[in-house]
Amino acid sequence: MSDNDFDKTDREAGVTSEVQVLPPWQSSGLSTVKPASDVIQFRQKLVEEYHKGAPSLAARLKIAGKEDLESYIVAMIDEVIQETDHLLGNELVATHNGDLRDASVISFKRAEVLEKAIKAAQTKQQFEKQGGVDVDSPAMIIIFRFFMGKAKETFDKMGVDTEIPDLFFRRFGEVTTDWKKDLRQSFEQVRNQR
């Protein structure tokens, strides 16, 4: 289907390709258009409402005391994911209205945004690996086993009965069943104290 076919189909459906978003002070076109400065102020007002009184995302994070790089990354990932919901809503509205071409374009844009969200999440994961400890890394098991071996070696050098190391390792295994979760929480507490 050529562009002319799309235009013809749009005209037959009563859809115009010119879309204009107007501030609420403009009604059915009878009033005059406000100057650009009024539109910019209106846009800024909407942004402040969106950010709950802050003039920008960065300002909102600063007010919340989250000025570190990790907070910015998490906030940006959240914003990107939220945009996919906005696009999905627009796509569903377009589909509901029978604007399949628009729905297809929006769907494609949504896929692009999701791809960016995935890349952002991967960036965050890489940041965590570089800036912290990856508790899921196979190296963590090596470290864990190393220190357990050193504990056993210490018991051997102390010359204690075999019952004591056995009891220790049995109890240690019980209290460390969720060690990855506990370790993540400990790291999170340290990050929040910075």
pLDDT tens figures, 141-175: 888 889 999 999 999 999 999 899 899 999 998 99
pTM: 0.46
CB atoms within 10 A of CB 117: 19
Q: Nearest-CA neighbor of 147 among 176, 178, 190?
A: 176
Please report which residue ranges of the chain form alpha helices under DSSP H. 3-13, 36-50, 57-63, 69-96, 100-131, 138-158, 163-175, 179-193
Q: pLDDT tens digit string along 95-118?
A: 999 999 999 999 999 999 899 888
